Amino acid sequence: MPESITPIGPAGLGPIQPAQPVQPGLPAGAAGEAGGKSFSQFLSEKIGEVNQLQQESTQAIEGLATGKVQDLGKVVSAVEKANLAFQMMVQIRNKLVDAYDELQRIRT
């Protein structure tokens, strides 16, 4: 019989490591992904990404119209990607406005 028993942790054999604290307001694991950025910085980056997708979509449409792009599937894909990203951004904005309105109702 061994003198000491080593518990099995999530990473396999070895001591169990204590859980890392999670920053309030962020889901587990998001602290490392966000890189300590503020919410406004994160939101600005995502808006920039949506803008980039919109520009790529416009370029794909112009390329198709001028004959530079022959692959209709790539054009449709770029347009749909931009459309979905924009719809998601609008829904996020709507949720933020709803949350702000709810906070205003709570304060009064």
Is 0.85 surpassed by the pTM of this model? no
pLDDT tops 90 at residue 63: yes
Angle value at C-alpha 52, between 45 and 30, nearest 5 degrees: 30
Q: Count CB neighbours of 37 within 10 A.
A: 12
Range of weakest confidence among 3-7, 37-41, 42-46: 3-7
The dihedral over CA atoms of 10, 16, 21, 27, expressed in degrees to the nearest 10, equals: 10
**Rounded Cα gap, residues 35 and 29, in angstroms:** 11
**Residues 90-103: tens digit of each pLDDT:** 999 999 999 999 99
| Most distant CA atoms of the chain, gap in Å | 79
Residue 25 contacts residue 17 (beta carbons within 8 Å): no
